Chains A and B, each alone.
Chain A
Amino acid sequence: MSAVGTTGGEPAIRTDGLSKAFGSQRAVDGIDLVVPRGAVFGFLGPNGSGKTTTIRMLLGLVSATAGTIRVLGEPMPSRTRTVLPRVGALVEGPAFYPFLSGRANLTRLDAADRCSSGRTRAARVDAALERVGLTAAAGKRVHAYSLGMKQRLGIANALLRPRELLVLDEPTNGLDPQGTREVRALVRSLADEGATVFVSSHLLSEIEQVCSHAGVMSAGRLVAQGTLKELRRAGRPRVVVRTPDVAAARTVLAALGLELLEETREQAASALLADGTAPEDVTSALVAAGARVRGLAVEGSTLEERFVELTGEGFDVAR
């Protein structure tokens, strides 16, 4: 890995106490992000939780109110000139000149980088278009592109040069299920080529399958991060009782000191399983109280549940 050289040991992204305030609102509130090299890092959080603002700070578009950033082993934003050519990014959706063709747009953005070769430009642009399946529409003006096509073009822009780090902000927005699958496959192939991929989403399900790591944002704070395994383990298991005597079962669970959960299923009661309480204790307590038990199961929390647990449920924008 000669290209990585002396910086190979450092994480691809590391922030310390990174904060951004808009007036009195703390859009990003002291986050310590660590994205290891080679990881596919899912940056999760509901709308308005501060993902895009964080990404803007990582790329030097927005100055941080407090905290430090290192990207690919160098401080940002002081080293934008040497860092950003190695980073491909999609930020807050694609943006292009509507009166230019897809190809002309990419050519312009590539020309904006002083270090990119003019000699190989046309070939690289075509290769990037090919990679996102836009070859046929490359000559059309972007004005005539659908949202999904623009999204693809935005990803193509991030792939104009070989990159060590890709930062993709909600790359599946506006894509159909087929497009979403393609993006996932693309992320996988980029990771296989050795790039680090930092991908944000408000939908866990869209990226869970491709991530090796994840971080969860909630109201500007990074409430959890680590490998997917670590995140799953951090979730507490719960006990689900199948019973016609729901009310009695809930009383028993509460009496055992367990935290009751909302249960949507019919004739079932559930609660978080506390460390000191074994499932068999629950069974005997239920029997002693005369609650009829049809079944009792301990369920590990899925990542989805973990996500909901960390960020709160529902469609409400956090703030």
Chain B
Amino acid sequence: MSRAEGGGAVSARRGLAPGDEERPRAFALLGSQLAVLFRRRRTWAMLGALALVPVLIAVAVRVTDAGTPGDGPAFLSSIADNGLFVAFTALSVSVPLFLPLTLSVVAGDTIAGEASLGTLRYLLIAPASRVRVLAVTYAGVVAFALAATLAVVLAGVGIGAVLFPIRDVTLLSGDTVDAGGFVLRTLLLVGYTSLSLLGLGAIGLFASTLTTVPVGAMAATVVLAAAGQIADALPQLAWLHPWLFSHYWLGFGDLLREPIAWGSYASDALLQLAYVAVFGALAYGRFTTKDVLS
């Protein structure tokens, strides 16, 4: 048996022991994860649908009368007067439904999607550690939350500038800021809304470690998103409200005061962080001990 003596010759000859050649690349998988996410048609279809929301609103306002102030979504009546409000209106429309829905699709798909494709086992034997796979897929969820919010806001600012006059903005507090100041606030708004979605994203990530059927994890996450908002609307559950991940979702009006009221921003950040910590830990506990049989 001449073969029996040759073990390891392949690596010996080319001198490639693991890690020898250069420093480990901690971020290569993250880059690849984002590439996979944003090379998917589904991702772009969802971002496109989100971008349609402000367009729809702006066109509807443009072709009809502005309606009576107080009717319809927040900020709607201000649009005809100032195009900068399109983005705000579109966000307040998207936050309860479209944003959580699309985010649930991405978050529910993380681990379960890889498992159902079978690529999970190949990532793990590449090898990528389970913690790393979890962290990187969650980073994809965060990136999507940001992209989704940006899609709504950028499309809103764009269509607003095209269809309506752009002028100084009168804030809820009565002060006036110029367009530049308003753009700054819009960016803060993007940050606020993406941040608000992180808790739900962590819930979706955990749901995704429980199954190999991505649709199941997606549906569970969407249902929770809806249930959270329903619970938040019931006065009988007032004691629960401060603990609901959706409690501060519509709190971004505070960014339209002068000076900016940071209260909701801080409470929201703390709450989302707590959700990420709890559900991140649950996902970790589940995923690192789970048999990968798909």
Contacts and interface: CB of A to CB of B under 8 A. Distances in A.
B14 A112 contact: no
Interface string A60-103: 11110000000000000000111011110101111111111000
A23 to B, nearest CB: 12
Interface stretch (B118-126, B149-157, B225-233, B263-271): B118-126
B117 A61 contact: no
Interface in B41-61: 41
Contact of A82 (B18, B32, B119): B18
A2 interface: yes
Contact of A56 (B10, B117, B293): B293
B223 interface: no
B11 A164 contact: yes
Interface string A1-44: 11110001000100000000000000000000000111110000
Given A95-B122, A107-B32, A193-B10, A113 B117 contact: no
Chain B CB within 10 A, most for which of A12, A113, A119, A196: A113
Contacts of A97: 36, 117, 119
A255 interface: no
Sorting the interface of chain B by its residue count into under 10, 10 to 19, 20 to 34 or 35 or more gives 35 or more
A110 B14 CA distance: 18
A205 interface: no
A217 interface: no
B184 interface: no
A84 B292 contact: no
A38 B15 CA distance: 18
Sorting the interface of chain A by its residue count into under 10, 10 to 19, 20 to 34 or 35 or more gives 35 or more
A209 interface: no
Contact of B10 (A94, A107, A164): A164
Interface stretch (B1-9, B73-81, B174-182, B252-260): B1-9
Given A114-B24, A115-B24, A96 B1 contact: no
Nearest to B6: A194
Contact of A40 (B3, B35, B126): B3
A118 B4 CA distance: 33
Interface stretch (A155-163, A173-181, A276-284, A296-304): A155-163
A8 B121 CA distance: 28
Main DSSP-derived SS at the A contact region: loop
B12 A4 contact: yes
Interface string B93-135: 0000000000000000000000001110111111111001100
A9 B133 CA distance: 34
Contacts of A117: 21-22, 25
B63 interface: no
Contact of B122 (A82, A109, A194): A109
A145 B121 CA distance: 20
A99 B7 contact: no
B16 interface: yes
Contact of A37 (B8, B35, B133, B293): B8
B29 A111 contact: yes
A191 interface: yes
Contacts of B124: 59-61
A17 B32 CA distance: 39
Interface of A: 1-4, 8, 12, 36-40, 56, 59-63, 80-82, 84-87, 89, 91-100, 104, 107-120, 157, 161-164, 190-196, 212, 227
Given A4-B8, A81-B129, 17 more contacts: A38-B6, A38-B7, A59-B125, A61-B291, A62-B291, A91-B122, A92-B121, A95-B121, A96-B117, A109-B119, A109-B126, A112-B28, A112-B123, A192-B3, A194-B7, A195-B9, A212-B3
30 contacts: A3-B8, A3-B11, A38-B5, A60-B127, A61-B291, A61-B293, A63-B291, A95-B119, A95-B122, A97-B119, A100-B36, A104-B35, A111-B31, A112-B28, A112-B29, A112-B128, A112-B133, A114-B26, A116-B25, A116-B28, A118-B22, A118-B25, A118-B28, A163-B11, A164-B7, A164-B10, A193-B10, A193-B13, A194-B9, A212-B4
